Amino acid sequence: KNQVEQSPQSLIILEGKNCTLQCNYTVSPFSNLRWYKQDTGRGPVSLTIMTFSENTKSNGRYTATLDADTKQSSLHITASQLSDSASYICVVSANTGGFKTIFGAGTRLFVKA
Amino acid sequence: DAGVTQSPTHLIKTRGQQVTLRCSPKSGHDTVSWYQQALGQGPQFIFQYYEEEERQRGNFPDRFSGHQFPNYSSELNVNALLLGDSALYLCASSFRGGASYEQYFGPGTRLTVT
């Protein structure tokens, strides 16, 4: 069964600290993996997108890694800011000849001053 | 360059009623996907429209239907509303369908069924 599991479910960190969010998937055959940031009540905004051959991709203070062998990805946030408080969603797409995209439930990040 | 737009922003309906949500894709995009997101959950795929046809469908009943117009905009219709249909409905657009093309999401429509 195609699944995307994220951990932790929620996380509280102090402003300025770093954190790492995890994503494990069983989606096959793998096409790409994306990380989105979603503010409460708003649509998700893309942070990174990685294909099978990419191990890491950065977008400012956000760095995503991908291990296609173990089917794991992480999103590392450096020097967190209050505005980083949001849900971070891992999305994995399968190349089945048709459209198949599986969303994780997200990690809720709270950055405190 | 306008991004993905959705209307209305918020909507309150009564159980049993019908509702229509609208989406205009990002400029240059021709594919629209609809998602339902319950509170605290990740988005669940409803269906995707490309070239005015439903190309893929998630695990949603026939009460959920859609349409895509020649200008690539799309509508999501939900009939016989249930309390469980209360959610944030997200529209995402991409170019030429498929999973490999990056999707851009709209701000969503918050539907409350009472």
Q: CA of A31, closest CA in chain B: separation in Å?
A: 6
Residue A32, chain B, CB below 8 Å: the answer is: yes
Contacts of B103 in chain A (CB under 8 A): 46, 101
* CA nearest to B29, candidates B92, B75, B88, B79: B92
Residue A95, chain B, CB below 8 Å: the answer is: yes
C-alpha span between A106 and B43 (Å, rounded): 9
Rg for chain A, CA atoms, rounded: 14
Per-residue model confidence as pLDDT tens for chain A (113 residues):
778 999 999 999 999 999 999 999 998 888 889 999 999 888 999 999 998 889 999 999 999 999 999 999 999 999 999 999 999 999 998 877 666 788 999 999 999 99
> Is the model's pLDDT at B100 over the cut of 60?
no
**Token pair of B43, please?**
């988005």
Say if strands A107-112 and A10-14 run parallel, antiparallel, or are unpaired. Answer: parallel
C-alpha span between A109 and B50 (Å, rounded): 35
Residue A51's φ and ψ, nearest 5 degrees, are -100, -175
Residue A105, chain B, CB below 8 Å: the answer is: yes
Q: Which residues contact A97 (CB under 8 A, 6 or more apart)?
A: none
Interchain contact, B56 vs A99, CB within 8 Å: yes
> Is the model's pLDDT at B95 over the cut of 90?
no
Give percent above pLDDT 70 in chain B. 95
Which among B41, B48, B88 has the least Cβ separation from residue A105?
B41
**CA B99 to chain centroid:** 17
Spatial contact of B86 and B111, defined as CB atoms under 8 Å apart:
yes
Spatial contact of A5 and A23, defined as CB atoms under 8 Å apart:
yes
